[in-house]
Amino acid sequence: MKSIGIDLGTCNSCVAEFKDGVSRALVNMVSGKLTTPSVITYPSLLIGQSEKDAPIQNQTVSSFKRLIGRRFTDQEVQEQIKRVDYKIVNQNDQPMVKLLDQVLSPSQISGDFLKQLAKQTNINQNKVVLTVPAYFSHQQKLQTEKAGSIAGLDISRLLAEPTAAALQYDIQSKNKQQNELVMVVDLGAGTFDVSVLEKSGEIYTVLAAAGNNFYGGDDYTTAVKKALADINIEATFKEAEDLKHLLSQAETVDFKGQHISHKHISQQFQALDERLTKPILQTLSDANLKPEQINKILLVGGQTKQMTLENVV
Ligand SMILES: Nc1ncnc2c1ncn2[C@@H]1O[C@H](COP(=O)(O)OP(=O)(O)OP(=O)(O)O)[C@@H](O)[C@H]1O
Ligand SMILES: [Mg+2]
């Protein structure tokens, strides 16, 4: 039996196939990569963001997941309005994206994106599982399902993102436990999610979820950029991000003729790492648990590859 799963992320999306007990991510045939930036440009419907296509004002839409199923007056939407390069307008308290010559709903945009993503990853079977954050409301889930049907996909179910991470861990792990409490810490590019799950046999239940929708790896990249500027090195966001990745694997890196070490960035990172604590404590208190009751912590999301995070957790 084969099934397809799509992680429609705020910043990056990924399609995976589960077959004969193993799962593997599917390559985007256009970019050659395993993940695709969750960005779409109208009217060409080009998705992703290669280094050569710069976003076009009022035509390129990013972070549309932050709008789906929300009300225009939600704090998240208001925050998003300040950050993006496209117009978000109010239509009956729904946030709508106003492009040059059309006004689109977040579910339409997500649907257009998913359709292109499915095409580019060659999904030839259209029964799929879509993952959604654990905290998604009924309306957010409904609109995500609608996006799936706009894309022409047959959504067999929605799966909570931390549950997907825990299931993936279970597939790979040799000593499976029957009952345990698992904390999933997901620090992505733009969002931070913490969830506590209870595993009972094959079933996972989300006991609590908390996080910060405007905090993630991009803030760490900005911190690297700032640390470089402090020592008079100019870098683009992309250069700073590449350097950040290298520094998660090596103590020092040669960058533009200078040795950059962890010491250079650690102070900036510490301030960011402090923001990890609150949601972690929040989920524990919401689930009525003490830290020592957690049997396992799963670190997922690209930014958890940075060493300093492990120290905090
Ligand atoms: N080796 C690495 N070292 C440090 N950071 C990394 C590494 N690899 C990826 N990242 C960072 O992880 C982030 C991307 O993570 P991920 O792909 O999990 O995000 P995402 O799922 O798209 O985001 P979100 O969950 O917010 O939608 C980026 O900030 C990237 O720089
Ligand atoms: Mg993610």
pLDDT reported for residue 218: 92
Sign of dihedral through CA atoms 134, 140, 145, 150?
negative
Sign of dihedral through CA atoms 110, 112, 113, 119?
positive
Nearest-atom number in ligand 1 for the CA of 248 is 3
Do 297 and 313 meet the contact criterion of CB atoms below 8 Å apart? yes
pLDDT digits (tens, 9 = 90+) for 98-108: 999 999 999 99
Instruction: Classify residue 83 as exposed, middle or buried by CB count within 10 Å of its CB (0-12, 13-18, 19+).
Output: exposed
pLDDT band at 310 (very low <50, low <70, confident <90, very high): low
Residue 86's SS3 state is coil
Q: How far is CA 202 from CA 39, 163, 164, 180, in A?
A: 35, 11, 13, 11
Is pLDDT at 70 greater than 90 in this prediction? yes
Is pLDDT at 40 greater than 70 in this prediction? yes
pLDDT digits (tens, 9 = 90+) for 215-261: 999 999 999 999 999 999 999 888 999 999 999 889 999 999 999 99
Closest ligand (CA of 12): 1
Does pTM top 0.75 for this prediction? yes
In this prediction, what percent of the chain has a pLDDT beyond 70? 96
pLDDT band at 307 (very low <50, low <70, confident <90, very high): low
Residue owning the nearest CA to atom 9 of ligand 1: 302
Domains recognised in the chain with CATH numbers: 2-162 (3.30.420.40), 177-313 (3.30.420.40)
Ligand 1 centre and the CA of 200: distance in Å? 30
Contact 9 CB / ligand 1 (< 6 Å): yes
